[in-house]
C-alpha cells in the first residue's frame, strides 16, 4: 500500500516566509540602523574611554537632546505631510522666554509651563492657515516667521536675560524614580505619536497627503485640514520642547539657540522621514536625536577630534540620508516601470 503524503497547508508554508520578510524589514529599517549605530558607538568609544559608559554620562546623552526629540515629533508630521517648518528654533527661543517671564513675574508655575503650548499652537495655526488657505509655500511662511520671532525676541527683551527663576520651576531637573523628567516626555510622547500616526485615520491621512496630494484629494481627504492639523500639533510639540529647554537652565538667554532649526530637521530626516514627504516615523527621529547626542558626547571624550566637527557630522548625515532616500525612490520607480 502506498503512503499518502499530505501537502503542507498554505498557511504553514507561508509562515516562515512571513517571518523572514518581517525580520528583513526590521533589520533593513532606518530605526534599526540608527539603534545599531548607537550601540556600536557606545561600545567603540566606551572601549577607549570607560567614563563614556558611566551612568551619569549615559543619562546626560539621553537627557541632552530630549527636547530636540520632542520638537522632532512635530517636525516629522510636518515633513511627512509634504511641508517643512524652519522657524522652530526661533519659536523655541521665544516660548522659553515667555515661560521664564511668566514664572519670574509671579504667575503660577503650572501656567508658565502651559502657556508655551498655547502660544505654540497659535503660531502653528497661523502658519498652517497661510500655507493651507492662502497657498503660500511653507518654506516662505516659516522663513518669514523665523525672522519675525528672532528679531521680535531681541526687541521685546532688549537683549536682557531672565534670572532669579523661582523654586519649583525647573521641570527638567525633576527626577521621578531617579530618571530625569525630559526622558519621560521624550519616550512617552514618541510612543503616543507613533501609535497615533500608524492607527488613527488622521495619522494615515497625513501619510496619504504627503505621498500623493491629488490621490488623497480624490479619496476624500482634506489637504487643508491635514496641513492645519500638523502645524498646530507641531506648535504644541515645540511648546513642550521649549519648556523642557527653559527649565533645564538657571538663566534663560534672550537669544535663539544657534542652528537649532538645523538640528531638529537633521534628526527628523536622519530618522528616516523623507524630505519629500509621505514616509517616515517619529521613532526614527527619537533614535537620531539620541545618536546625535551620543556623537556630541563622544567628541568630548575623544581628544583627537575637535568638538566643532559635530556640525560637519550633522551636515554629512542629512546629505547622506537625503541621497539614500532619493536613490531608494528612484529604484522603486524603476521596479514599477519594469
- For the chain, the structural domain boundaries read 64-290
Distance of alpha carbon 331 from alpha carbon 144, whole angstroms: 36
- CB neighbours of 306 closer than 8 A, spacing ≥ 6? 299
Look-up: residue for cell 494615515? 204
Distance of alpha carbon 154 from alpha carbon 139, whole angstroms: 23
Q: What is the largest CA-CA distance in the chain?
A: 99
Distance of alpha carbon 213 from alpha carbon 206, whole angstroms: 10
By the 8 A CB rule, do 127 and 142 touch? yes
Treating both helix axes as pointing N-terminal to C-terminal, what angle do 260-270 and 309-337 enclose, rounded to 10 degrees? Answer: 40
Q: Please give the pLDDT value at position 18.
A: 73
Q: Please give the pLDDT value at position 160.
A: 81
Q: Please give the pLDDT value at position 1.
A: 47
Distance of alpha carbon 36 from alpha carbon 42, whole angstroms: 10
Cα dihedral 44, 271, 231, 190, rounded to 10, equals: -70
281 conformational bin, left if phi > 0, alpha if psi -120 to 50, beta if neither: beta
Distance of alpha carbon 83 from alpha carbon 14, whole angstroms: 40
Q: Please give the pLDDT value at position 250.
A: 83
Q: Please give the pLDDT value at position 115.
A: 96
By the 8 A CB rule, do 326 and 279 touch? no
Distance of alpha carbon 311 from alpha carbon 323, whole angstroms: 18
pLDDT tens for the chain, 338 residues long, are: 455 555 555 555 566 677 766 666 666 677 888 888 889 889 988 888 889 899 899 999 889 889 999 999 999 999 999 999 999 999 999 999 999 999 999 999 999 999 999 999 999 999 999 999 999 999 999 999 999 998 888 877 777 888 889 988 999 999 999 999 999 999 999 999 999 999 999 999 999 999 999 999 999 999 999 999 999 999 999 999 999 999 998 888 877 777 889 889 989 988 889 888 898 999 999 999 998 888 888 888 776 566 566 667 667 776 776 677 667 667 766 665 65
5 secondary structure, DSSP code: P
Query: DSSP letters along 140-175, please?
Result: HHHHHHHHHHHHHHHHHHTTPPB--PPTT--GGG--
Distance of alpha carbon 68 from alpha carbon 295, whole angstroms: 15
Q: Please give the pLDDT value at position 234.
A: 97
Q: Please give the pLDDT value at position 34.
A: 86
Q: Please give the pLDDT value at position 334.
A: 66
Amino acid at each position: 500500500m502506498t503512503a499518502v503524503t499530505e501537502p503542507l497547508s498554505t498557511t504553514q508554508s507561508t509562515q516562515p516566509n512571513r517571518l523572514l520578510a518581517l525580520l528583513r524589514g526590521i533589520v533593513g529599517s532606518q530605526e534599526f540602523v540608527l539603534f545599531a549605530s548607537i550601540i556600536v558607538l557606545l561600545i567603540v568609544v566606551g572601549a577607549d574611554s570607560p567614563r563614556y559608559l558611566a551612568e551619569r554620562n549615559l543619562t546626560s546623552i539621553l537627557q541632552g537632546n530630549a527636547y530636540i526629540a520632542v520638537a522632532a515629533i512635530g517636525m516629522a508630521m510636518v515633513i511627512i505631510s509634504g511641508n517643512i517648518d524652519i522657524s522652530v528654533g526661533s519659536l523655541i527661543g521665544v516660548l522659553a522666554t515667555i515661560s521664564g517671564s511668566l514664572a519670574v513675574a509671579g504667575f503660577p508655575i503650572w501656567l508658565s509651563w502651559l502657556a508655551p503650548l498655547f502660544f505654540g499652537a497659535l503660531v502653528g495655526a497661523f502658519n498652517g492657515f497661510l500655507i493651507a488657505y492662502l497657498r503660500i509655500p511653507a518654506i516662505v511662511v516659516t522663513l518669514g516667521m523665523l525672522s519675525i520671532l528672532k528679531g521680535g525676541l531681541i526687541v521685546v527683551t532688549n537683549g536682557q536675560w531672565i534670572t532669579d527663576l523661582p523654586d519649583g520651576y525647573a521641570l527638567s531637573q525633576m527626577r521621578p524614580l531617579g530618571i530625569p523628567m525630559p526622558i519621560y516626555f521624550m519616550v512617552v510622547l514618541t510612543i503616543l505619536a507613533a501609535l497615533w500616526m500608524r492607527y488613527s485615520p488622521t495619522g494615515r491621512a497625513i501619510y496619504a497627503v504627503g505621498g500623493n496630494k491629488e490621490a488623497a484629494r480624490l479619496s476624500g481627504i482634506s489637504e487643508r485640514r491635514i496641513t492645519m492639523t500638523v502645524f498646530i500639533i507641531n506648535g504644541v510639540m515645540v511648546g513642550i520642547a521649549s519648556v523642557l529647554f527653559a527649565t533645564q537652565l538657571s538663566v534663560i538667554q534672550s537669544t535663539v539657540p544657534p542652528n537649532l532649526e538645523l538640528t531638529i530637521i537633521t534628526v527628523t530626516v536622519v530618522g528616516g522621514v523623507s524630505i519629500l514627504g509621505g514616509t517616515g516615523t517619529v521613532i526614527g527621529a527619537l533614535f537620531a536625536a539620541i545618536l546625535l547626542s551620543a556623537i556630541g558626547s563622544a567628541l568630548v571624550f575623544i581628544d583627537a577630534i575637535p568638538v566643532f566637527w559635530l556640525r560637519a557630522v550633522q551636515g554629512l548625515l542629512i546629505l547622506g540620508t537625503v541621497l539614500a532616500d532619493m536613490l531608494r525612490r528612484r529604484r522603486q520607480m524603476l521596479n514599477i516601470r519594469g
